[in-house]
Chain A
């Protein structure tokens, strides 16, 4: 079982719709969760971090965390063609002294259709 799982997509949504991206993780000891956006040929860009259960909103982005279900999601409201990218979920699971190690999912490709 992979430590961090994401549907590879592509997830296709029309412009203006809500895009919902999902991620599950295997280790219940995981403490910190991140969403990165990666445009084709570019480096990952941090867009959201979440540390406690519930929702965290930043502009058009909302991260949702449910530790009991080992599930984290990213909602993008009013999706724009410029949101088309691969979204990587990353999870921090401290092992001994390796407290800053992130495990990345393989990413979900989002395509926003104009």
Chain B
């Protein structure tokens, strides 16, 4: 079975531009998580969904960040406008009812 799929794998953009990261969870999983990882702050949970509904978005840093999950097989994380401090690796993970989460390959975002 395919694992969690993320696109793009790398994104380089200029400050002020809109960035959209995409995720396809493992088929049948009912939880989807968005994380951000930096050297300074480690792995941080941004938001997670259960059955396509946002459950906890307390980790979303500010209004420039938004996430949607229009259906069970697709989610987006959008940053508008992007800033250099948003540079990080963004991971999507999914799980089925249990707490065992499986991570995608990540998107490395660089904002110049």
Contacts and interface: CB of A to CB of B under 8 A. Distances in A.
Interface of A: 32, 34, 36, 42-46, 49, 88, 92, 97-98, 100-107
A101 B48 contact: yes
Interface residues of B, number: 18
Interface string B30-70: 01000000000011010010100001100000000000000
Interface majority SS (helix, strand, loop, mixed), chain B: strand
B102 to A, nearest CB: 6
A94 to B, nearest CB: 9
Contacts of B95: 100
A102 B46 CA distance: 11
Interface string B60-90: 0000000000000000000000000000000
B101 interface: yes
Contacts of B105: 42-43
Given A43-B106, A44-B43, A106-B42, A97 B101 contact: no
22 contacts: A32-B99, A34-B99, A34-B100, A36-B103, A42-B105, A43-B103, A43-B104, A43-B105, A44-B43, A44-B91, A44-B103, A46-B101, A46-B102, A88-B43, A100-B31, A100-B55, A100-B95, A100-B99, A102-B45, A104-B42, A104-B43, A106-B42
Contacts, number: 43
Interface of B: 31, 42-43, 45, 48, 50, 55-56, 91, 95, 99-106
**Which 9 residue pairs spanning A and B have beta carbons closest together?**
A43-B103, A106-B42, A104-B43, A32-B99, A92-B99, A98-B56, A44-B103, A43-B106, A100-B31
Nearest to A36: B103
Contact of A49 (B42, B91, B99): B99
Nearest to B92: A43
